[in-house]
Structure 1
Amino acid sequence: MRIFGLNFDAWDTTFERKLYMVFAGGAYFATVYSGSVSVIFCICLLFTPFWWLVLLYISWLFLDRHTPSQGSRTVNFLENIIFWKYVHNHFQINLKLTPDFELNPSQNYLFACFPHGVMPMGCHATIANSYSKFRSLYPDFRVKIATLSFFFLFPILRDLAMGVGFISCSFKSLVSVLSDPKGGEIVLLFPGGALECFYNQNQPQRFRCVVKQRKGFVKAAFVSGAALVPVLTFGENDLLAVRGSFWKHISFITKKFPTLASGLFYGRGVFQDNFGWVPRDIPLMTVVGTPIKVSKTEYPTSEQIDDLHEKFQEELVKLFDKYKYQYFDSPQDKCLELE
Structure 2
Amino acid sequence: MKIEFAPFSVPLERRLQTASVLQWVFSFLGLAQCCITIFIALLFTRFWLISALYALWVAIDWETPSRGGRRSHWMRNLVVWRYMKDYFPITLVKTAELDSTKNYIFGFHPHGILVAGAFLNFCTEATGFSKTFPGLTPHLMMLSIWFRVPFLRDYLMSGGLIPSDKETASYILRKPGGGNVLTIAVGGAREALDARPGAFTLMLKNRKGFIRLAIEHGTPLVPVFSFGENELFDQVENPRGSWLRWTQERLQKVMWISLPLFHARGVFQYSFGLLPYRRPIYTVVGRAIKVEKKHNPSEEEVDELHEKYVEELSKLFEEHKLKYNVPEDKHLSFI
TM-score (norm 1): 0.90
Letter in 1 for 2:190: L
Query: How far did 1:323 drift?
Result: 1.6
Q: Deviations over 1:180-227 (max 9, x none)?
A: 112111121101101111123xx4321111111111111111222221
1:8 aligns with 2:12: no
1:82 aligns with 2:79: yes
Find the counterpart in structure 1 of residue 169 from structure 2.
Answer: 174
Structure 2 counterpart SS, 1:102: coil
Give the whole-Å Cα distance in 2 for the aligned partners of 1:275 and 1:154: 31
1:22–1:278 Cα contact (<8 Å) kept: no
User: What TM-score comes out, normalization by structure 2 length?
Assistant: 0.91
* 1:335 aligned residue: 331
The structure 2 residue matched to 1:289, chosen from 273, 286, 290, is 286
Offset of 1:128 from its aligned partner?
4.0
The residue number in structure 1 matching 2:21 is: 24
State the secondary structure of the residue aligned to 1:286: strand
Equivalent residues of 1:110, 1:187 under 8 A apart: yes
Q: Which residue is equivalent to 1:254?
A: 248
Cα separation, partners in 2 of 1:224 and 1:124, compared to 1, 3 Å: same
State how far apart, in whole Å, the 2-side matches of 1:262 and 1:156 are. 24
Consecutive unaligned residues in structure 1, runs of 5 or more: none
Describe how 1:16-55 pairs up with structure 2 within 5 A.
16-55=13-52
- Cα deviation for residue 281 of structure 1 reads 1.1
Q: 2:129 aligns with which of 123, 127, 134?
A: 134
Is 1:326 the counterpart of 2:319 in the alignment?
no
Q: Does 1:241 align with 2:234?
A: yes
Point out the more displaced range, 7-16 or 210-219.
7-16
Residues matched between the structures, number: 329
**1:49 Cα shift?**
1.9
* Alpha-carbon distance between aligned partners in 2 of 1:291 and 1:86, rounded to the nearest angstrom: 31
1:95-244 alignment to 2 at 5 Å? 95-98=92-95, 101-200=96-195, 203-243=196-236
Closer, same or farther in 2 for the Cα pair 1:184/1:260, shift >3 Å?
Answer: closer
Is the 8 Å Cα contact of residues 138 and 180 (structure 2) preserved in structure 1?
yes
Runs of 4+ in 1 over 6 A off after TM superposition: none
Choose 186-195 or 78-87, whichever is displaced more: 78-87
Summarize the Cα distance change of 1:244–1:310 in structure 2 as closer, same or farther, 3 Å threshold: closer
Amino acid at match of 1:220: L
Amino acid at match of 1:7: E
Q: Distance in 2 between matches of 1:143 and 1:329?
A: 28
Shift in Å, 1:142: 1.0
Q: Verify the 8 A CA contact 1:91 1:122 in the aligned structure 2.
A: no
The farther-off stretch of 154-163 and 271-280 is 271-280
- Partner amino acid for 1:338? F
Q: Deviations over 1:47-86 (max 9, x none)?
A: 1122233233223223322221211111222122222222
The aligned amino acid for 2:135 is: D
Do the aligned residues in 2 keep the contact of 1:228 with 1:293 (CA within 8 Å)?
Answer: yes
Contact 2:110 2:202 in 1 (8 A): yes
| Per-residue deviation, 1:24 | 1.2
2: distance between equivalents of 1:307 and 1:260? 30
Q: Is the 8 A contact 1:222 1:295 kept in 2?
A: yes
Which among 90, 95, 99 is matched to residue 93 of structure 1? Answer: 90
- Give the % identical residues: 34
Deviations 1:302-328 (A, max 9, x none): 222111111001111111222222223
Q: What one-letter code is carried by the residue in structure 2 that aligns with 1:23? A: S
Asked if the contact 2:248–2:260 (Cα under 8 Å) also holds between the matched residues in 1, the reply is no
Hey, what's the Cα distance between the residues in 2 that align with 1:127 and 1:26? 18
Report SS of the residue matched to 2:30: helix
In 1: Cα distance, 2:323 partner to 2:217 partner: 34
Q: What's the Cα RMSD here?
A: 2.1
Task: Output the CA distance in 2 between the equivalents of 1:111 and 1:328.
Answer: 24
| Structure 1 CA distance for aligned equivalents of residues 260 and 245 of structure 2 | 13
CA distance in 2, matches of 1:25, 1:244: 25
**Structure 2, unpaired ranges of 5+:** none
